[in-house]
Structure 1
Amino acid sequence: MRIDLHAHSTVSDGTETPRELVAAAATAGIDVLAITDHDSTAGWGEASAAARELGIELVPGMEVSCRTPEGISVHVLSYLQDPTHAGLLEEITKAKDARLSRAEHMVSLLAEDYPLSWDDVTQHVAPGATVGRPHIADALVAAGLVGDRTEAFATILSSRSRYFVQHYAPEPALAVELIRAAGGVPVFAHPVASARGRTVGEEVYRDMIDAGLAGLEVYHRDNPEARRPFLLDLAAKHGLLVTGSSDYHGTGKPNRLGENTTTPEALGEIERQGRGAAVVRR
């Protein structure tokens, strides 16, 4: 059984609609897919209908964007949470509003040096999606200013660039608490992905574990091989689940569906712990 528990659609920063995402997973031979758009569950309905039609199982989920007080970005995957839970909804809505303001500010800074407008960016945003750096990257690609999203993030849109603007995001432990309160199962996404920027120290892991962290996404292309034993040891010491996944974004990233997978046993434990939503069966 091939289980991929991290994938994005046009609801956030993927390039395929929820239905197209599920279809791509079915074509790739994926048996179980999780839809985990950033700070949104808006794709669940379309993806669920497609999963039933195409004969694969779907794990409803979300990727919550967080930040430590030191400014380190952290992402927490949430599986099987209640999408209507007031506390979690309030926090992700606050973060999404901040992301929109941040994007507008970044585009205004970019426009000082590049032929780029807000209209250029919004052309790359699906209805209902929140504008983020990937959409700005797509506009830069379309304008011929960079070759692809990867180049955009490594140069013009990097956290070291003068165009980079921070935005509000909840602290990781708070996100874990809210996910648990919503009946969800929180898993730390790509926790040692140093190529993306600074990574957190052990104190943040401890705080997240104390708050109810369920697992670690160990098998991910952005986690260096040399750092995976640390994650596996931590998981064994604290009884955490170990997952693997693609972090697929369609053509937005080189990641391919099923390039890393999760065991049926880990998925079974996620399903056992999840109380807010159910896996969509074939």
Structure 2
Amino acid sequence: MKTELHCHTTLSDGATGMEDLFRFAKLGGIDNLAITDHDTIDGYDQALVLAGKYGIRLIPGVEISTFDYSCNRRVHMLCYYYQDRELLNRFLHRIQENRRVTAQRMLEKVSHEIPISIPTVREYAKDSFCVFKQHIMRTLIDMGYTNEMYGPLFKQLFDAKTGSCYMTPTFPDVYETLEVIRQAGGLAVMAHPSEYRSMELLRELTAKHLLDGIELWHPRNLEEDKEEIAQLVSKYGLFATGGTDFHGMHSSRCHRLGTFTTPDDMFYRMEAQAQR
């Protein structure tokens, strides 16, 4: 059985439309699939129809943008098997609005620095609730400023520390986010702990029994962190997940959908936890 639990579509910052994603999943022999777009579950109903069409089991999911204010770092939290969509959506709409405001300001800053076709940016972002950096970069590639999504120009504009146009939206605190996931009846899984150097927070959250699982098999997790993640999973009786974090041509690394997956025993453990 092949289980892919982390991928994105054009509803957030992915380059692949929903139906194409299911086509790719079918071609890749994927049996279980979670669509985890950033801060939106608006694609769930469409995904459910497509899952039936392509004979793939859909796992409800979303990747929530949060913040650890104790050390001033972003954190991504995956939520699976949510039950209360209305409650979760109210929370996500707050994040979406903050993202929209920040994205508009970033786009304005880019337009002051580089002549850019804003209608083209909007066209790339038409399925999403806001403009993402990838939509801006696609436009700059089209206009001949660069031929790379994540090359020197991306760094110049959007590097988190030195980027001339980078701005961080106001994200909810990680503890508030975990409480919302719990209230919505979902399972809380910390995404790619290596990416934002979140191992210290991970130790804290697992010790407080606030997580159901940890994303272990991910292209950007460091080997030394993966070893400790496996130990924490065992110590606290959690489940470990795997996902490719697929963004299509917007991916920062070249991996096909289904390259990083969740082993059957961990998926069964996750399912059992969701049914409690």
Q: Secondary structure at the match of 1:148?
A: coil
* Aligned residue in 2 for 1:102: 102
Change in 2 beyond 3 A, CA 1:155/1:177: same
Q: Which runs of 4+ in 1 moved over 4 A?
A: none
* Aligned residue in 2 for 1:82: 83
**Offset at residue 204 of structure 1 (A):** 5.3
Return 108-117 or 21-30, whichever deviates more. 108-117
Which of 171, 188, 191 is matched with 1:189 structurally? 191
Structure 2: 5+ residue stretches without partners: none
**Offset at residue 137 of structure 1 (A):** 2.2
Task: State the Cα deviation string for residues 150-169 of structure 1 (Å, max 9, x = none).
Answer: 22544421112121111111
Q: Secondary structure at the match of 1:123?
A: helix
Q: Distance in 1 between matches of 2:168 and 2:209?
A: 25
Q: Distance in 1 between matches of 2:234 and 2:166?
A: 38
Cα contact 1:41–1:83 (8 A) shared by 2: no
Q: Secondary structure at the match of 1:156?
A: helix
Q: Distance in 2 between matches of 1:63 and 1:121?
A: 23
Change in 2 beyond 3 A, CA 1:227/1:127: closer
Amino acid at match of 1:133: K
TM-score by length of structure 2 reads 0.91
Q: Distance in 1 between matches of 2:208 and 2:154?
A: 33
Amino acid at match of 1:75: H
Q: Secondary structure at the match of 1:112?
A: helix
* Aligned residue in 2 for 1:44: 44
* Aligned residue in 1 for 2:211: 213
Q: Distance in 2 between matches of 1:140 and 1:240?
A: 43
- Paired residues in the alignment total 271
Q: Distance in 2 between matches of 1:248 and 1:55?
A: 20
**Offset at residue 205 of structure 1 (A):** 3.9
Q: Secondary structure at the match of 1:58?
A: strand
Cα contact 1:4–1:262 (8 A) shared by 2: yes
TM-score by length of structure 1 reads 0.89
Q: Percent identity?
A: 30
Change in 2 beyond 3 A, CA 1:211/1:90: farther
Q: Distance in 2 between matches of 1:83 and 1:137?
A: 36
**Offset at residue 248 of structure 1 (A):** 0.8
Task: State the Cα deviation string for residues 14-65 of structure 1 (Å, max 9, x = none).
Answer: 1222222111100111111111111111111111111111111111110001
Change in 2 beyond 3 A, CA 1:203/1:7: closer
Task: State the Cα deviation string for residues 59-116 of structure 1 (Å, max 9, x = none).
Answer: 1110001111143111111111035242x32221111101111111111111121112
Q: Distance in 1 between matches of 2:56 and 2:90?
A: 32
Which of 230, 233, 236 is matched with 2:231 structurally? 233
